[in-house]
């Protein structure tokens, strides 16, 4: 976890600000929002850290904003995870980002097909 302390969360905050302006909501799901929960998949083609629900939540927070715990990350396989967002609009916006390349990881978003 100590290796994650140097991450820059500013890009995620910029994406989160864009979501707030466009959709008037947060990125992560909150039960009190009155919105329906929607899911996305994120897969990692590389990562310099152990992938688990907690570290994936932090990786998501660093690249798309929100709050790590609010994504309710669920492990599907070794490098693939499901996470929740606040609305279908936000889901498609994040999906449109497709690939995120960072110094410590490369992740790919896809629509969750439960």
What confidence tier does 12 reach under pLDDT thresholds 50, 70, 90? Answer: very high
Strand order across the beta sheet in which 74-77 lies: 74-77, 80-85, 38-47, 105-111, 99-101
> What Å distances lie between residue 78 and 33, 96, 97, CA to CA?
31, 24, 22
Share of the chain above pLDDT 70, in %: 93
CB 42 within 8 A of CB 109: yes
Residue 2 has what pLDDT?
55
CA distance linking residue 66 with residue 19, whole number of Å: 10
Residue 4 has what pLDDT?
56
Q: Does the pTM exceed 0.85?
A: yes
């Amino acid at each position: 976890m100590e290796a994650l302390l140097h991450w820059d969360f500013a890009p995620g905050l910029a994406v989160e600000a864009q979501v707030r302006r466009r959709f008037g909501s947060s990125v992560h799901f909150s039960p009190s929002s009155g919105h329906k929960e929607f899911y996305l998949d994120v897969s990692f083609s590389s990562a310099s850290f152990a992938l688990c629900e907690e570290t994936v939540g932090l990786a998501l927070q660093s690249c798309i904003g929100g709050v790590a715990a609010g994504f309710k990350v669920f492990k599907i396989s070794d490098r693939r995870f499901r996470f929740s967002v606040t609305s279908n609009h936000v889901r498609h916006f994040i999906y449109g980002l497709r690939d995120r390349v960072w110094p410590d990881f490369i992740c790919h978003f896809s629509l969750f097909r439960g």
